[in-house]
Amino acid sequence: MTILSLDTNVLIDVANGRRSDVRQRFDEAVLRGDVLATCSISAHELLYGAAISRRPEVETRTATTLLDQLLVADFTREDAAAAADVRKRLRGLGQGIGTFDTLIAAQALARGWAMVTANVREFGRVAGLSVIDWTRPSAGAP
């Protein structure tokens, strides 16, 4: 079973239908039976974006409907320890990434989940993290 952790940019693309290629890859993953997950931090980012949008009621309803289809993983103490390690390693390399991205990436890494994101530049810095970009042509599943 493949568990895919969806980054906020993927959630936005799926919720708003901005990129049909991303929605298609999402639908294919569902049909394959992949477990689609997201970090509670990404859920926060999606819901915050909806709350400050021009149509907060509509966008929040859309975001909630999408999140209801996913495993929304709480951020645990073990995730926090993994994040501290990731942050320390990246700092040592002089290649830090954003705080939220560190937390999101570390949770996926600690749980052995593949990270689905269009932000390959930052997430690709995390050693051992499997990064998938649904905005690029597929060379096969996932």
Give me the pLDDT at residue 140, please: 53
Whether residue 138 lies inside any domain: the answer is no
DSSP letter for 60, please.
H
Residue 89's domain comprises: 3-132
pTM attached to this predicted model? 0.91
- As a whole number of angstroms, the distance between CA 61 and CA 57 comes to 6
How would you list the strands of the sheet with 71-73, edge to edge? 71-73, 35-39, 3-6, 114-116, 131-132
Whether residue 141 lies inside any domain: the answer is no
Q: What is the pLDDT of residues 11-34, one digit of tens each?
A: 999 999 889 899 999 999 999 999
Give the count of domains, the chain. 1
CATH of the domain at 54: 3.40.50.1010
Whether residue 98 lies inside any domain: the answer is yes
Q: What is the pLDDT of residues 46-91, one digit of tens each?
A: 999 999 999 999 999 999 999 999 999 999 999 999 999 999 999 9
- pLDDT of residue 141 exceeding 90: no
Question: CB-hemisphere CA count at 13 Å for 93?
Answer: 12
Q: Which amino acid is at 107?
A: Q
What are residue 116's phi and psi, to 5 degrees? -100, 115
Angle between helices 56-67 and 40-51 in degrees, nearest 10: 160
